[in-house]
Amino acid sequence: MAMKGVNPYEMAQAQFDKVAAILDLDPATRELLRQALREYSFGIPVRMDDGRVQVFRGFRVQHNDARGPSKGGIRFHPQETLDTVRALAMWMTWKCAVVDIPLGGGKGGVICDPHHLSQREQEQICRGWVRQLARNVGPVADVPAPDVMTSGQHMLWMLDEFEQIHGGHYPGFITGKPVGMGGSEGRTEATGYGVVFTIREALKELGIDVRKTRASVQGFGNVAQYAIRLYTQIGGTVVCVASWDQADQTSYSFRKESGVDADELVRISDRFGGIDKAKAKELGYEVLPGDAWLEQPVDILIPAALENQVRGDNAPKIASTVKLVAEGANGPTTPEADAILQQKGVFLIPDFLANAGGVTCSYFEQVQSNMNYFWEKDEVLAKLDVKMTAAFHAVSELARKKKLYMRDAAYVIAINRVAQACRDRGWV
């Protein structure tokens, strides 16, 4: 999906170049890591319901697998581009490396609009995608997952095609499967809980008692809902939540000074995480403009909706009480806003660390699938806590020691680990 005016691949490469300079990486390693190891682009012919054949364009990019099989989602989107897939594959390499799971980075996509495709047509796209790549993906090579507009059902169609071709059961080929069909307990909670594990550790480091903190959250989807639940459970108070209103085509913020109740809000939300503003008023919420979540006098901001939300134009409105920003969403903060946060002395937990709970749990799903032995939810979440906590401390320790901004410290750790793996294998 192309972002307006920005080529995400150029952005990902620019970020890499900046950190490669900090690390003083040698030219060969830079050359190797600033682009993908392998890229596949192919046609998927599908017999449509009306009898004609339509050819869809599919992609898979394996950015780097020095640390383990490539890992990353498959997106179905009408505006998908190879450059977006390349950028996302590179970001997956860094995300897996920063949480120190033995996986590399990959991403895939198909240019299509599922809104205008029947279930049968979508199944044929899934099966066609796997037929084109059956020898280049798999539990020990490249492990896909759901992403934008793909679900557990799509993953099962893909798994079935893979198993038909290879003649056996390989549940570790793909993640995001439904629980009971090779999926992992805890995946639904994983990203939001992971965000809060890192917030908890950051507050400890800052010497702040979580029970005395208040937070404001943008978004009320999967990530935000579980982040709000766990943060509230450990004693924090969320006073404001923003969500998108489909009917009005704008966003609103919902404020309740005594603390928002995630369960109460879920009951008045649609399945896309949009909160009903009339019902919210009845429940005692103040309904404010969409940007108000960012301006609240709280201790913690959690952008957990979408990219480019904290920008040069609105970051100056962040209250001086804010001590911590935890990026639940991918890319919510622009480089201009980053500079403002740094100036204000706000502690940042960058996206690919804060929201890595999702991929970490997908890794657990892959491990369980390969063993064909599945853990209880408590065990999954306890293991997730250990991984996220360790990852947070590695990054914050480096940031402190080298006086780096947290985002740069996270990149330094991730890129260094991947570069080291390439050197250890004798690739560079």
Applying CB under 6 A, does 84 fall inside the site for ligand NAD? no
Contacting range for ligand NAD; rule: CB under 6 A; set: 155-163, 300-308, 403-411, 415-423: 300-308
Name the DSSP letter for residue 138.
B
Q: What type of residue sits at position 217?
A: V
For ligand NAD, which residue of 219, 239, 296, 338 counts as binding (CB under 6 A)?
A: 219
Taking residues 156 to 195 in sequence order and writing x for each that binds ligand NAD by CB under 6 A, - otherwise, the string is: -----------------------------------x----
Helix (H, G, I), strand (E, B) or coil at 76: strand
Q: Of these residues, 4, 18, 71, 107, which one is catalytic? A: 107
**In the window 264-283, what residues touch ligand NAD (CB under 6 A)?**
272-274
For ligand NAD, which residue of 25, 315, 329, 398 counts as binding (CB under 6 A)?
A: 329
Give the phi and the psi of residue 253 in degrees, each rounded to 5. Answer: -110, 145
- Bridge partners of 228, per DSSP, are none
Question: Which of 184/218 has CB closer to ligand NAD?
Answer: 218
Residues 185, 361: Cα–Cα separation, whole Å: 9
Closest CA to 24 of 427, 423, 419, 421: 419
Name the DSSP letter for residue 154.
H
Closest residue to bound ligand NAD by CB = 221
For ligand NAD, which residue of 244, 254, 375, 411 counts as binding (CB under 6 A)?
A: 244
For residue 62, what are its two tokens? 């394996």
Beta carbons within 10 angstroms of residue 11's beta carbon? 16
Applying CB under 6 A, does 362 fall inside the site for ligand NAD? no
Can 323 be counted among the known catalytic residues?
no
For residue 337, what are its two tokens? 């806003």
For ligand NAD, which residue of 87, 117, 223, 391 counts as binding (CB under 6 A)?
A: 223
Helix (H, G, I), strand (E, B) or coil at 405: coil
Tell how strand 347-349 and strand 142-146 pair up.
Answer: unpaired
Question: Which of 31/313 has CB closer to ligand NAD?
Answer: 313
* Helix, strand, coil percentages in the chain from 3-state DSSP, rounded to 5: 50, 20, 30
Applying CB under 6 A, does 305 fall inside the site for ligand NAD? yes
Residues that bind ligand NAD (rule: CB under 6 A) add up to a total of 24
**Which residues contact ligand NAD (rule: CB under 6 A)?**
191, 218-224, 242-244, 251, 272-274, 290, 304-306, 328-330, 355, 358
Question: What residues act catalytically?
Answer: 107
